Structure 1
Amino acid sequence: MDLFTLSDMWTFFLAFFLTLPIVTLVHEAGHVLAARMFGAKINFTIGAGKRLFKIGPLEVKRMYFMDGWCQYDKLKYDRKWVHILIYLSGSIANLIVILLVNYLIYQGTLPVHIFFYQFVYFSVYFIFFSLFPFKTGEGQPSDGLAIYEVIKYGRKADPLD
C-alpha cells in the first residue's frame, strides 16, 4: 500500500482548494439562512487575507480555502434560543448535506467517489471544530463558545471579549 505520493497531488489540491471551500460555503450558508429567517442583517466571508471580490453580503478573500465566518445584526426576533439556533445552523447545514450525500450515494444517484468521501470528511471536521468552544487567534468565538456565552450570559457573543 502506497502512502502519499506525487500521483496524489491532484487529489490533495482538489480537497483543499475545491472541496474544503464548498464545505465552508455550506456551513456559512446555514448561518446565513437561519439569521435571515429571524430578520437579521448579515455579512459573511469565505477565506482570509485581502478581498478578492464582494457580491452583496458575501465577501471572498484571496485565501478562500482557509476560513469562513458570518456576522449578523438587528434580529427581528431577538431571543436567546434564536441566537443559539443561528450559531448551531452551520453545523446543522453540514449534517443535512452529509446525510443527503450519503443517501444519494446509497440510492445510486451519486457515484462512490473520493470527492464525496472528502466532502463528508471535511463536513464532519467542520461540525466538530465549530462546536468545540474556543477563540480563534483573531479573538473570534467558535460556534460552540458563542452558544456557551449565549446560555451563560444571555446575549450574543461579542467577537472580541
Structure 2
Amino acid sequence: MFGFGDIIKFLISFFVILPMVTLIHLSGHIFFATLFGGSEKKIKIGCGPIVCSFWNVELRRYYFWNGACEFKSLRHDNRVTNTFIYLGGSLFNLAGIFLIQNLVSEGILDKSVFWDQFIYFSFYMLFFSLFPMDFSDGSPSDGKAVVLTLKNQHERKISDDIQFRKIEEQNESKETFKDHNN
C-alpha cells in the first residue's frame, strides 16, 4: 500500500533527486561543448522565471521540471563533435549510475532508497533522452539528434535540452528565445 512514508519518498525524489539527475545530464552536454570549444555556455535547471544564478547555472522557479543547456559557436564543429555533445548527457547519467552502484556495493555509501531512486531516475533520463523520437514541441530527443547528425540531416543543432546559437542568429532570435523559455 501507499503510505505517508511513501509520500515523503515521492517528494524527495521529485524535488531533490530529479533535479540532481537533470543537472548531471546537462553537465554532460556542457562538458563536451566545452571540450570542443563552445562559448558562452549556460545550464538552466527547471523552467519559468529565474530565481537565482551562479557561475553559468540558472535556477528557475520550477527547478524540478525539465532543464536545458545553451552554448554558442563551437571551435570544432562537425558530426563527430556534435554526436559527443548530444550523447554527453546520457554518458554522464550512465557514469553516475555506475559510480553510485559501485560506491554502494563497496560499502562506501549505505544502501538506501535515496540511492535506489537516484539510479532509477538516472535510468529514466538515460532512456528518454536516447529514445529516438520527437517531442511535442518538435525538438528531437538526444538520440534522434544523434541519428540525424550522423545522417547529416540535422542542421539546427538542437535537441530537447540543448540549444545551440550561431553568432549571427543570436540577435534576431534573442526575444523569441526568452519568450519560449519563460
- TM-score, scaled to structure 2: 0.80
Q: Answer whether contact 2:145 2:154 (CA < 8 A) is retained.
A: no
Query: Gapped runs of 5+ residues in structure 2?
Result: 160-182
Cα offset, 1:159, TM superposition: 4.1
Q: Show the 5 A alignment for 1:37-116.
A: 37-41=35-39, 42-116=41-115
Judge conservation of contact 2:79–2:152 (CA < 8 Å) in 1: no
Instruction: Give the CA deviation at 1:156.
Output: 4.8
> CA 1:86 to 1:158, structure 2 compared with 1: closer, same or farther past 3 Å?
closer
Inter-partner Cα distance in structure 1 for 2:56 and 2:31: 12
The sequence identity of aligned pairs, in percent, is 37
| Distance across 1 between alignment mates of 2:131 and 2:156 | 15
1:136–1:49: structure 2 CA closer, same or farther, 3 Å change rule?
farther
Counterpart residue identity of residue 149, structure 1: L
Residue 57 of structure 1, CA deviation: 2.4
Following TM superposition, by how much is the alpha carbon of 1:7 offset from its aligned partner in structure 2, in angstroms? 2.6
CA deviations on 1:28-77 (whole Å, 9 max, x unpaired) are 11111111011102222110122212224221111111101222221111
Deviation larger for 43-52 or 137-146: 137-146
Aligned residue-pair number: 158
TM score, norm. by length of structure 1: 0.90
Mapped pair 1:134 → 2:129: no
Q: 2:19 corresponds to which residue? A: 21
Q: Which runs of 4+ in 1 moved over 4 A?
A: none
Q: Secondary structure at the match of 1:153?
A: coil
Alignment RMSD, CA only? 1.7
Q: What are the ranges of 5 or more consecutive residues in structure 1 without an aligned counterpart?
A: none
The letter of the residue matching 1:6 is: F
In the alignment, which of 32, 35, 42 is matched to residue 30 of structure 2? 32
Shift of 1:8: 1.5
CA contact (8 A) 1:30 1:89 kept: yes
Does the CA contact (< 8 Å) of 1:21 and 1:65 recur in 2?
yes
C-alpha distance in 2, partners of 1:87/1:69? 12
